[in-house]
């Protein structure tokens, strides 16, 4: 009979990425049926309860407490797994203590120790994030809020406060930035250069900065805004301030702006500010049409064309044809990056093909009720990651969808993204190859690899791992989608 064990650590906080990785390691242990390490918020308790691993001790936890919860096949397996979970939790602190790194409990103390610092990265539960951001702003720091689940009204308010102080707030839910050559959160190692990037999308920033780097140019700064900055309620506060900063930066010669289409009034405000600059801008509002751009701006339909414009490549690059026709006529796109999912839908729409998805994109078909159509899924969306790691952190999260697509005779192409860099899995290509196998009858596997050879997972080695397993590797996500369109030869 299964055994549920919970342990609660009072007033204990760990970054969600750390907790998700430990959860995955514990869940993979022999005799463990499910595991989760989460703060005791009501929403997190719902996740643990739905997973069947929340016990009385966990139910009694407060929002600031850490719950270690697991279900195992017997008492011995549960005890062993709990001991491992506690050891893994203690390891980061022991490592920091032995390294000699300084640890402080407040932003004020951190500023005392680093008086020249001008940026604070906030990664705490969403309901604490704005309070910590305000503390940083009061100390004269720019802020990057990695945390999500911040109410929209609070985001707008803290950004207005920062604007009044002449300080920048990146986020909430800002997953990527490169400031003065320093990669923050999910970012890649790219050379310094003269191209500035402003992006509402983390993976969008990663793709564009890596393509620019592989094209021979470098990045001055990549400023993340958070996905809601171009909403009417926020009014593009961070985007407009970022344009001001890059416009005034003598090291920045060109600027790339990446986002899903903003609301019309916000778009007009942003483009009016772009028009005031003497620098050339590339505007990539994914899925937008008929943009009234100023004379110093050019439109880019995809992330690849945005990068091409920045490196001076003006001719279209036609993707190579797949080695053989697909066995079926349907494409299954299984993405770790939501922006890559949206971009693939746009490529399909441009080719006259409908692609159902859980990600809303202008002109795309909704997933509800879709049958016998191409399907693009953002597997990093909340519906797939509740209580589980993001697929960029743990690629095994998409093992089941991949297995289902491999077994479906109607599927001719599986379209995938592999994202490298800091924060990402140490060997995503190797893990993916283990799931795909080498069966001759499988669908065509087409993938893009976002990264550089300077990343912790060198891109060339990751590409070779995939190629050796028979995966077709495109130079970009857009090119991978174009290859998929070619392989199935038309609408289903």
**pLDDT for the residue 98:** 56
pLDDT at 9 over 50: yes
Is 466 found in the same domain as 373? yes
pLDDT at 324 over 80: no
| Residue 197, both tokens | 């990037």
From residue 45, how far is each of 23, 65, 127 by CA, in Å?
A: 15, 11, 16
468, burial (CB in 10 Å: exposed 0-12, middle 13-18, buried 19+):
exposed
Is 84 found in the same domain as 70? yes
Q: CATH number of the domain that 40 lies in?
A: 3.30.70
Is 251 found in the same domain as 131? no
Is residue 322, in this structure, part of any structural domain at all? no
Is 483 found in the same domain as 336? yes
367 phi and psi angles, rounded to 5 deg: -75, -30
pLDDT at 29 over 80: yes
Is 207 found in the same domain as 279? yes
Q: CATH number of the domain that 155 lies in?
A: 3.40.50.720
Torsion of CA 146, 151, 155, 156, to 10 degrees: 160
**pLDDT for the residue 126:** 82
Is 296 found in the same domain as 281? yes
Q: For 88, what's the count of Cα atoms within 13 Å in the CB-facing half-sphere?
A: 18
Least confident of 12-21, 175-184, 416-425: 12-21
DSSP 144-205: EE------HHHHHHHHHHHHHHT--EE-SS--EEEETTEEEES-----EEEEEEEES-HHHH
Is residue 421, in this structure, part of any structural domain at all? yes
pTM, two decimals, is 0.87
Is 228 found in the same domain as 201? yes
Is residue 324, in this structure, part of any structural domain at all? no
Is 142 found in the same domain as 269? no
Torsion of CA 340, 346, 351, 355, to 10 degrees: 80
Is 361 found in the same domain as 257? no
**pLDDT for the residue 491:** 47
Percent of the chain past pLDDT 70, that is, above it, reads: 90
Q: How many structural domains are present in the chain?
A: 4
Q: CATH number of the domain that 278 lies in?
A: 3.40.50.261
> Whose CA is closest to 333, among 320, 351, 346, 319?
346
Q: How far apart are CA 347 and CA 489, in angstroms?
A: 14
Q: 347-364 pLDDT, tens per residue?
A: 998 898 888 888 777 656
Residue where a domain stops, chosen among 171, 203, 219: 171
User: Mean pLDDT in the chain?
Assistant: 89
Q: 138-169 pLDDT, tens per residue?
A: 999 999 999 888 999 999 999 999 999 999 99
Is 90 found in the same domain as 138? no
Q: 188-218 pLDDT, tens per residue?
A: 999 999 999 999 989 999 999 999 999 999 9
Q: Are strands 281-285 and 254-259 parallel, antiparallel or unpaired?
A: parallel
| Residue 158, both tokens | 């803290």
**Domain range spanning residue 88?**
3-99
**pLDDT for the residue 442:** 80
Is residue 323, in this structure, part of any structural domain at all? no
Percent of the chain past pLDDT 90, that is, above it, reads: 67
């Amino acid at each position: 009979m299964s055994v549920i064990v919970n342990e609660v650590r009072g007033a204990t906080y760990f970054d969600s990425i750390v907790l998700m990785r430990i959860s995955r390691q514990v869940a993979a242990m022999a005799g463990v049926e499910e595991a989760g390490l989460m703060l005791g918020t009501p929403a997190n308790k719902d996740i643990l309860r739905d997973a069947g691993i929340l016990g009385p001790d966990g139910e009694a936890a407060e929002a600031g407490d850490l719950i270690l919860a697991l279900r195992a096949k017997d008492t011995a397996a549960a005890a062993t797994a709990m001991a491992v979970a506690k050891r893994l939790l203690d390891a980061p602190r022991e490592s920091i203590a032995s390294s000699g790194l300084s640890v402080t409990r407040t932003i004020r103390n951190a500023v005392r120790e680093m008086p020249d610092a001008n940026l604070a990265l906030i990664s705490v539960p969403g309901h604490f994030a704005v309070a910590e951001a305000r503390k940083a702003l009061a100390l004269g720091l720019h802020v990057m809020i990695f945390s999500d689940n911040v109410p929209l009204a609070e985001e707008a308010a803290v950004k207005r406060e920062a604007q009044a102080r002449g300080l920048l707030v990146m986020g909430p839910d800002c997953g990527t930035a490169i400031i003065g050559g320093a990669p923050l959160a999910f970012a890649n190692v790219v050379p310094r250069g003269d191209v500035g990037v402003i992006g509402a999308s983390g993976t969008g920033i990663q793709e564009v900065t890596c393509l620019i780097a592989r094209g021979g140019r470098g990045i001055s700064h990549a400023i993340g805004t958070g996905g809601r900055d171009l909403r009417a309620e926020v009014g593009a506060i961070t985007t407009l301030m970022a344009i001001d900063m890059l416009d005034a930066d003598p090291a920045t010669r060109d600027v790339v702006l990446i986002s899903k289409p903003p609301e019309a009034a916000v778009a007009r405000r942003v483009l009016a500010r772009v028009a005031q600059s003497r620098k050339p801008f590339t505007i990539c509002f994914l899925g937008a049409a008929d943009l009234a751009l100023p004379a110093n701006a050019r439109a880019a339909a995809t992330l690849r064309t945005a990068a091409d414009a920045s490196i001076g490549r003006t001719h279209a690059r036609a993707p190579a044809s797949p080695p053989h026709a697909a066995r079926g006529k349907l494409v299954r796109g299984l993405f770790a990056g939501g922006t890559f999912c949206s971009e693939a839908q746009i490529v399909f729409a441009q080719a006259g093909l409908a692609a159902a998805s859980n990600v809303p994109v202008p002109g795309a078909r909704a997933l509800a009720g879709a049958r016998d159509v191409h399907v693009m899924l953002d597997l990093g969306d909340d519906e797939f990651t509740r209580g589980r790691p993001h697929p960029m952190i743990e690629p095994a999260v998409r093992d089941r969808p991949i297995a289902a697509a491999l077994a479906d005779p109607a599927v001719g192409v599986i379209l995938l993204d592999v994202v490298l860099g800091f924060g990402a899995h140490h060997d995503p290509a190797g893990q993916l190859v283990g799931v795909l196998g080498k069966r001759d009858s499988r669908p065509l596997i087409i993938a893009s690899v976002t990264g550089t050879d300077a990343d912790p997972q060198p891109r060339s080695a990751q590409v070779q791992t995939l190629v050796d397993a028979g995966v077709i590797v495109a130079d970009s996500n857009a090119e991978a989608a174009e290859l998929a369109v070619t392989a199935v030869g038309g609408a289903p």
